[in-house]
Amino acid sequence: MIKAVIFDFDGIIIDSEPLWVEAEIEVFKTVGVELKPELCRQTTGLNTQDTIQYWHNVHKWTGKSTFQLYKEIMEAMQSLIFERADLKDGFLDVLQLFVDKKIPVGVASSSPLKLITTALKKFHLFEFFKIISSSENEEFGKPHPALYLGATRKLGIDPVNCLAFEDSLNGAISAKAARMKLVTVPDSHDYASTRFDFSDLKLASLTQFKEKDFEYLNALN
């Protein structure tokens, strides 16, 4: 039985993945690392520290510390979210479905808490979420289950009674490793991939999620 719902943030609540790509390409360019959108997808779902470390392991740049790059990416993302971020199509309807059922909802994201709260306040959604968890406060980020396990502990609900919404493979692995039910909404370029076949439900868009889907997931053991 589903007693709580936890949403990923980037790519589920807001359409921020293109903004992350834009910020990463511009900031990494300052240390001579030329990224393309398809390369940025290799780190989708990782937190920013892990993303920076991933590319530093590949390129070994000098001149700027990883902390400086982190700071610059965060500053760029905060501006981009405030100025240009939009909610993902269908998210408000999905959120309303669970609010109407009085099922508590939370956020578990690789993004820093500052960016999550910036967006939720921008769209006047902050009050709907019982908990907000960021991997910056966990020892391990996605795909490790620590973030989701921490979120379910805050909610006081067993993970087997929680439903996660994810768009990235790393996030999906994290939720399933925590023993949660899982809905994945992959980007269009990933939708046909068999990598998401372990999901309990895979959708092309949140606009497709309906009451019948909730009933199906709620009936799963």
**Does the pLDDT at position 131 exceed 90?**
yes
Average pLDDT over residues 141-158: 96
Q: Is the peptide bond before 18 cis (omega within 30 degrees of 0)?
A: no
Closest CA to 176 of 209, 138, 220: 220
**Does the pLDDT at position 17 exceed 90?**
no
Q: Please give the share of the chain, as a percent, with pLDDT higher than 70.
A: 100
What is the rounded CA–CA span in Å between residue 95 and residue 147? Answer: 21
Instruction: Go through the domains of the chain in sequence order and give each one's CATH number.
Output: 4-15+87-219 (3.40.50.1000), 17-84 (1.10.150.240)
Point out the residues that are catalytic.
8, 10
Residues 164-210 have pLDDT tens digits of 999 999 999 999 999 999 999 998 888 999 999 999 999 999 999 99
Residues 27-60 have pLDDT tens digits of 999 999 999 999 998 898 788 889 999 999 999 9
Residues 58-80 have pLDDT tens digits of 999 998 999 999 999 999 999 99
Burial 163-184 (b: 16+ CB within 10 A, else e): bbbbbbbbbbbbbbbbbbbbbb
Q: Given strand 201-202, what is the order of strands in its sheet?
A: 131-134, 105-109, 4-7, 162-166, 181-184, 201-202
